[in-house]
A and B are shown apart, each in its own frame.
Chain A
């Protein structure tokens, strides 16, 4: 995790060379291609894929499949993407379909929504979801609500994507988690991939979906490599929107999470297993529409539940999970449902403060052990 944080610091804007050398020296799962700065998707170990490559290949395949799909955002074209998610796409599809925009979020998001209403399929990149606040009016009032307000006349098949939540040392204005805000809006579909299978499958599903989709990715996960089955690499591989995935089965407690925290839950599950606690990990994958049924049936089995999220506690995803559990399976609970969240403060900069402001694997282990 420390290496990731250092790498993250180096990831800030133009330090690609520094980032590469740091990641290479990190070795193992964090090292991308051996050949230097370009993360070529063909040079991964067979059967494994970074989240970055998962997203990149999904975008590539969906652009090839449907001419109406195009990408716009800051630095997506010539720079190859601030986080290299759109690497190679300008070269392959040209400037008509991969468009660099000026730093004008509300302008280009509005244009993308208008283009979607007229029949195209835009994929809008926010360099981070923090900048979406400039454009949030269009996401909500133009994209999410138009089909309803027009009683079915006006569709808006648009995907908004980008990294969400804390990165490493980027401080308060660049670390906010927007899961709670966007997932509260009817008319949007809100997705949060964890691993490469999620990233590929949800991105392809999102682009094929006729509704406006918010895709909350995670910067720290971009460089992480995950095993993928051959099915995942298929051109038509999609993951269903609105269905959670049980990552790991267990019988003593359910951990419900999304995005990067799913990884932490899996780590905590391994640690708890050594102490004889059997943990079931539910990866939400979709925040709206929320898969209440998978959560409830897990709780009916384990009788205990902890929600884990990076974002702020008040009115957060955890607040929703706990309400869901209370409404749908109260009688199956042996203990009050709990939530682990980020600390209720703006994100501090200094790295140990930042670490303390976010949930840790130890937090999860401790809270689970503390449940009677």
Chain B
């Protein structure tokens, strides 16, 4: 990534004059000049900004509709970057704890982890408001966390739900794939691959019907992208000009099947055919944030758009998948080394003297403590009482009862 703040350019020129020049490896010269920057003693304040050049954005049929494109030159402040770092870090640590709790058999069943994909979850939340509606797949812990406020309490709700506690996001009745917040317009969490996409178009439909200036966002993966109902949702969304952003989180694997083995065309941002699409670097939160900001504006003005975010999941498909039978460990560690979204923001902060390493370490420590607290609390929380089995079958229960396992056992629905 090339960094071009005015202060940096000056330092860069100084670096070059010192005889460093542009080496063939641009990252090496970047590093060298960054060290030069910190030695030059640039003060870091909360208001200081940098301007960052993100990876190029690919577009599909966009220019037929508008001459706007998502910007690849992003100016961001230290405070913003720290916030993005903190939000992603909390997502990461939460998902890592889920891994540990699962291995300790404190979490059972399905558990699909999001670590590696944080830049999408945070970038999305930063570009929308709580009145926009979001729906995603079963890989929903981090999106739910973000919608609920991305804080310790929200972490507790996730962990408690995974541990089946009555204090969990869905009172222990949903589990990993079924976390929702109506108040903040998060509609799950969907266990059926691809089903969330027409649902998301429906959320957008409601916003259009109510003419409330909000959008619907439906996230799905490269595996889901081949679902017929997604093609149907695209057709309806385009036909009716729904204010819908379809986000393909392309982590390149649908469970154990790579995109090249599942899709004739893995240019998912073009799969809407007549529908505009953009493809962004999903490991760069500045790129994703800008892409979603662009997409929301587009959706409100022109109708549906696809945003394909090129991302990666470090874990396997779920906790029962080691994630190493269909991809090499080298591939995973390579992405982690070169493209980790949290490391990227950390480097931006430190290399540009927008934060001290110690400051970030303190944030990390704080978040780890927050998560520990959430876990301890969840461990101590009660399981849901038997009576909760008979709650929430209907909104209007009337006289209805549910039969138990044995004849003559009836439980009033509440």
Contacts and interface: CB of A to CB of B under 8 A. Distances in A.
B195 A110 contact: yes
23 contacts: A107-B229, A107-B236, A110-B202, A111-B198, A113-B199, A114-B200, A114-B202, A117-B199, A118-B185, A118-B187, A118-B203, A118-B205, A148-B173, A149-B170, A149-B174, A151-B171, A153-B181, A154-B187, A186-B393, A211-B395, A242-B399, A289-B401, A327-B407
Contact of A187 (B198, B239, B393): B393
Interface in A18-75: 70
Most buried by A among B133, B198, B201: B198
B178 interface: yes
A271 interface: no
B232 A107 contact: yes
A141 B177 CA distance: 13
B192 A114 contact: no
Nearest to A97: B209
A117 B395 contact: no
B206 interface: yes
Interface in B181-233: 181-182, 185, 187-192, 195, 197-207, 209-210, 216, 228-229, 231-233
Interface of A: 70, 96, 99, 101-102, 104, 106-120, 137-138, 141-142, 146-155, 157, 186-187, 189, 209-211, 240-242, 289, 327
A137 B192 contact: yes
Contacts of B233: 107, 110-111
Given A120-B209, A141-B192, A152 B198 contact: no
Contacts of A106: 198, 228-229, 232
B39 to A, nearest CB: 54
Contacts of A137: 192, 195
A118 B207 contact: yes
B262 to A, nearest CB: 20
B195 A327 contact: no
A149 B189 CA distance: 10
Given A114-B206, A138-B198, A150 B174 contact: yes
Contact of A111 (B170, B202, B207): B202
A215 to B, nearest CB: 16
Q: How large is the interface on B (under 10, 10 to 19, 20 to 34, 35 or more residues)?
A: 35 or more
A157 B240 CA distance: 22
Contact of B188 (A120, A154, A240): A154
A365 B9 CA distance: 96
A331 B394 CA distance: 33
Contacts of A119: 206, 210
B391 interface: yes
A280 B228 CA distance: 49
B398 interface: yes
B218 to A, nearest CB: 8
A138 B206 CA distance: 17
B235 interface: yes
Contacts of B203: 114-115, 117-118
B160 interface: no
Contact of B236 (A70, A101, A240, A242): A101
A118 B202 CA distance: 8
Interface in B378-411: 388, 391-396, 398-402, 407-408
Contacts of B395: 147, 155, 157, 210-211
Contacts of A109: 198
B268 interface: no
A114 B236 contact: no
B202 A117 contact: yes
A146 B401 CA distance: 19
Contacts of B401: 289
Contacts of A149: 170, 173-174, 178, 188-189
Interface of B: 133, 135, 170-174, 178, 180-182, 185, 187-192, 195, 197-207, 209-210, 216, 228-229, 231-233, 235-236, 239-240, 388, 391-396, 398-402, 407-408
Contacts of B231: 107
A159 B239 CA distance: 23
A147 B395 CA distance: 8
A286 to B, nearest CB: 10
Given A110-B233, A114-B206, A118-B206, A102 B239 contact: yes
B235 A107 contact: yes
Contacts of B170: 149-151, 153
A57 to B, nearest CB: 23
A138 B400 CA distance: 23
B173 A114 contact: no
Given A114-B199, A115-B206, A117-B187, A104 B232 contact: yes
Contacts of A116: 202
Nearest 7 CB-CB pairings of A with B: A114-B202, A110-B198, A107-B232, A118-B206, A114-B199, A151-B171, A111-B202
B392 A148 contact: yes
Contacts of B180: 150, 153-154
Given A111-B236, A154-B180, A147 B396 contact: no
B202 A112 contact: yes
Most buried by B among A102, A117, A147, A150: A150
B394 A189 contact: yes
Contacts of B133: 118
Contacts of A99: 240
A148 B172 CA distance: 11
B338 to A, nearest CB: 38
B393 A115 contact: no
A280 to B, nearest CB: 22
B17 to A, nearest CB: 59
A267 B240 CA distance: 49
Given A108-B198, A115-B205, A120-B206, 6 more contacts: A106-B232, A117-B199, A150-B178, A150-B392, A151-B173, A289-B398
A210 B392 CA distance: 12
Nearest to B407: A327
Contacts of B191: 141
Contacts of B174: 149-151
A353 B20 CA distance: 92
A138 B195 CA distance: 7
A110 B407 contact: no
